[in-house]
A and B are shown apart, each in its own frame.
Chain A
Amino acid sequence: MGAQQTQNQSSSAAADQGTRGVVIIGGGQAGLQAAASLRSEGFTGQVTIVAEEPGLPYQRPPLSKDYLKARLTDGSDGADGSAGTSASPLPLRGEAFFAEQDIELRTGTVATSVDRQAKTVTLADGTVLGYDSLVFATGARNRELPTPGIDLPGIHGLRTLADAEQLGAALDTAKNVVVVGAGFIGLEFATAALARGCQVTVLEFAPRPMGRALTPLLGDWFAGAHRDLGIDLRLNEGIASFEAGDDGRVALAVSTTGDRYPADLVVAGVGVQPNDQLAAATGLETANGIVVDARLRTVDPDIYAIGDCAAFPCVHAGGPFRLESVQNATDQARHVAKVILGADETYEDLPWFWSTQGPFRLQMANIVRADDETVVVGDADPAHPKFSVLCFRDGILAAVESVNMPSDHLSARKILAAGLEITREEALSAGFSLRAAYKERTQPAAVV
Chain B
Amino acid sequence: MPTITYHQPGGDTQVIELEKPDRIMQAALKNSVPGIVGECGGQAMCATCHVYVREEYLDALPEIGDDEEEMLEVTASERDERRSRLGCQIEVGGSGLEAIEVDVPEEQV
Interface residues of A, Cβ cutoff 8 Å to B: 59-62, 65-66, 74-77, 83-84, 86, 88, 90-97, 100, 326, 330, 354, 356, 361, 363, 406-407, 410
Contacts and interface: CB of A to CB of B under 8 A. Distances in A.
Contacts of B101: none
A361 B45 contact: yes
B99 interface: no
Interface residues of B, number: 29
Interface string B20-62: 1111001001111100001111111100000000000000001
B22 A91 contact: no
Contacts, number: 83
Contact of B43 (A88, A354, A410): A354
B26 to A, nearest CB: 6
Residue with the highest number of chain B CB atoms closer than 10 Å, among A65, A75, A86: A86
B23 A84 contact: yes
B64 interface: no
A406 B71 contact: yes
Contacts of B26: 84, 86, 90
A90 B25 CA distance: 10
A406 B39 CA distance: 16
A59 B49 CA distance: 15
Given A62-B42, A326-B39, A91 B29 contact: yes
Contacts of B67: 361, 406
B20 A86 contact: yes
Contact of A410 (B20, B42, B74, B94): B74
B30 A363 contact: no
B78 interface: no
B72 to A, nearest CB: 10
Nearest to A354: B45
B32 A95 contact: yes
Interface of B: 20-23, 26, 29-33, 38-45, 62, 67, 70-71, 73-74, 89, 91, 93-95
A96 B12 CA distance: 15
Given A59-B41, A90-B38, A354-B45, 4 more contacts: A75-B21, A76-B21, A86-B26, A94-B31
Contacts of B41: 59-62, 65-66, 90, 326
B19 to A, nearest CB: 9
A370 B89 CA distance: 36
B91 A84 contact: yes
Given A62-B41, A361-B45, A83 B31 contact: no
A91 B40 contact: no
Given A100-B32, A361-B43, A407 B21 contact: no
Contact of A90 (B32, B42, B73, B95): B42
